[in-house]
């Protein structure tokens, strides 16, 4: 990708003009949200071309206006789809599909919750603990999900509670 192409994709992502891609962690097809987080938290120690990165850092230091609502709206649509896949997987007792749906539900949920706080999503494991500790009802549900006693019926009930709580937070 040329510098001009990168600049175009970068600006489209920040201005909400990029279409959210099929990956729930990407803004457009070229700019991962984790990349924006890395830039916003980075310290530049060397630039071959003077001041090259400074412009990009300035753009991401403050969370872009309307990016949060764009991400949240997209995530709410994705959550509906993943919830249906989860329910289908529970009914068929397909363990791999169940685990895949749960991971995607968590990833999408934590991304949306990060956007709600106007924080760049850095990935499931980077944002898990923050969301885990910030939302007591979510924490309680996740602790129950972690127990070895959780069966299909309990898991379905807990995931529905989790989704309900996430949607409540996102729609406030």
Pairing of strands 26-27, 31-32: antiparallel
Q: Which residues of 112-143 are buried (b: 16+ CB within 10 A; e: fewer)?
A: bbbbbeeebbbebeebeeebeeebeebeebbe
* Structure confidence by residue, pLDDT tens digits, 73-96: 989 999 999 999 999 999 999 989
Q: At residue 126, does pLDDT exceed 80? A: no
DSSP secondary structure code for residue 32 in this structure: E
Instruction: Specify the pLDDT at position 169.
Output: 93
pLDDT category, 97, cuts 50, 70, 90?
Answer: very high
pLDDT tens digits, one per residue of 3-29: 888 888 888 877 766 555 545 555 656
Domains of the chain: which residue ranges?
3-61, 67-170
- With bands split at pLDDT 50, 70 and 90, how would you rate the model's confidence at 139? confident
| Cβ contact 152:160 at 8 Å | no
pLDDT value of position 166: 93
pLDDT classification of 168: cutoffs 50, 70, 90: very high
Q: What is the model's pLDDT at position 17?
A: 63
């Amino acid at each position: 990708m040329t510098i001009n192409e990168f600049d175009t994709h970068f600006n489209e992502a920040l201005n909400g003009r990029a279409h959210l891609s099929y990956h729930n962690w990407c803004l457009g097809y070229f700019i991962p949200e984790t990349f924006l987080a890395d830039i916003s938290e980075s310290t530049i120690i060397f630039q071959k071309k003077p001041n090259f990165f400074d412009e990009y850092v300035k753009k991401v230091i403050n969370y872009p206006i309307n990016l949060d609502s764009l991400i949240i709206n997209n995530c709410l649509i994705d959550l509906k789809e993943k919830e249906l896949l989860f329910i289908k997987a529970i009914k068929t007792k397909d363990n791999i599909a169940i685990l895949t749906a749960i991971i995607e539900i968590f990833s999408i949920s934590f991304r949306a919750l990060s956007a709600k706080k106007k924080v760049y999503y850095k990935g499931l494991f980077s944002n898990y603990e923050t969301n885990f500790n910030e939302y007591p009802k979510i924490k309680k549900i996740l602790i129950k999900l972690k127990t070895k006693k959780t069966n299909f019926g309990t898991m379905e009930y807990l995931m529905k509670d989790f989704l309900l709580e996430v949607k409540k937070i996102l729609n406030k």
